């Protein structure tokens, strides 16, 4: 794990809270997960850009909050063509909860990702999901945590930011990798991050572009650089207070492969 002195204060606070958050040491989950690679292939066959749409009430980088029911948001995203749904379960900084994820997973028929800051094995057993995020920068023994994740039936989505973290992920056996365009040290977003890392990812790895994707042009740029799918939160949620149409926000990105830039 990289030095915490390099983390932005907001991220350091998130990490500290994650380390203090209790998991479940009394039970081990057994998850019957829907396959994300299969869902991506299905979207491709339907002519849709595979988008993992994120239910994110707020974040340290958001302009505000959305208090909509998580299930209604998720269903609206699926109506807009989302291939999968990501649900924040981090409570202190993102307004998420495991209960929200459970409700969403019961309501939609697509894979659901648990988006949180998991640093220990006992934190895996908090809630069932199809996928679970592991951030290379925050994990001490990535290989062991990937193994423990798969033992429960989860598909681990392993997040990296640069080539060094990519090598760590590959050596640990990751086969679904997300490249975060956001630098956790400065909280700045640069789509060139994905473009610099993607060429070094093996073809048999499912590759996801994360953060900073806000327009059909961004979608096409990431797809041209090799993204199998895109993880999009803020551009779909729109925390600006205008209560924008989540279905339409999703659809604009899902349909971006046709070259019709609507933004």
CB count within 10 Å of CB 41 equals 15
State the catalytic residue, choosing from 59, 86, 90, 115: 115
d(CA 160, CA 118): 14
State the catalytic residue, choosing from 211, 214, 234, 249: 211
Is residue 2 annotated as part of the catalytic site, yes or no?
no
Residue 178: phi and psi, rounded to 5, are -110, 135
State the catalytic residue, choosing from 90, 181, 210, 234: 210
Residue 14: phi and psi, rounded to 5, are -60, -45
Contact 201, 163 (CB under 8 A): no
Is residue 211 annotated as part of the catalytic site, yes or no?
yes
Contact 86, 100 (CB under 8 A): no
State the catalytic residue, choosing from 59, 180, 181, 234: 180
Q: Three-class SS of residue 115? A: strand
State the catalytic residue, choosing from 56, 214, 234, 249: 56
Contact 178, 210 (CB under 8 A): yes
d(CA 72, CA 76): 6
Is residue 44 annotated as part of the catalytic site, yes or no?
no
Is residue 192 annotated as part of the catalytic site, yes or no?
no
Is residue 215 annotated as part of the catalytic site, yes or no?
no
State the catalytic residue, choosing from 90, 121, 128, 159: 159
Catalytic residue annotation: 54, 56, 115, 159, 180, 210-211
């Amino acid at each position: 794990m990289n030095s915490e002195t390099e983390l932005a204060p907001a991220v350091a606070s998130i990490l500290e809270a994650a380390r203090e958050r209790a998991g479940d040491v009394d039970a081990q989950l057994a998850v019957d997960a829907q396959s994300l690679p299969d869902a991506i292939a299905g979207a491709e066959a339907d002519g849709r850009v595979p988008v993992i749409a994120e239910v994110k009430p707020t974040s340290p980088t958001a302009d505000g909050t959305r208090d909509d029911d998580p299930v209604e948001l998720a269903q609206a995203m699926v109506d807009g063509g989302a291939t999968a749904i990501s649900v924040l379960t981090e409570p202190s900084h993102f307004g998420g909860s495991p209960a929200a994820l459970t409700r969403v997973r019961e309501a939609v028929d697509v894979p659901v990702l648990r988006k949180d800051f998991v640093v220990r094995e006992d934190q895996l057993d908090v809630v069932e999901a199809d996928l679970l995020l592991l951030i290379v920068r925050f994990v001490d023994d990535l290989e062991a945590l990937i193994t423990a994740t798969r033992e429960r039936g989860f598909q681990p989505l392993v997040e990296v930011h640069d080539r060094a973290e990519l090598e760590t992920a590959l050596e640990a056996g990751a086969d679904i990798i997300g490249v975060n365009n956001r630098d956790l040290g400065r909280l700045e977003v640069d789509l060139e991050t994905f473009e610099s890392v993607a060429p070094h990812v093996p073809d048999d790895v499912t590759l996801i572009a994360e953060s900073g994707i806000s327009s059909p042009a961004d979608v096409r740029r990431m797809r041209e650089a090799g993204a199998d799918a895109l993880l999009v939160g803020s551009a779909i949620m729109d925390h600006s207070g205008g209560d924008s149409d989540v279905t339409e926000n999703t659809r604009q990105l899902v349909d971006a492969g046709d070259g019709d830039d609507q933004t």
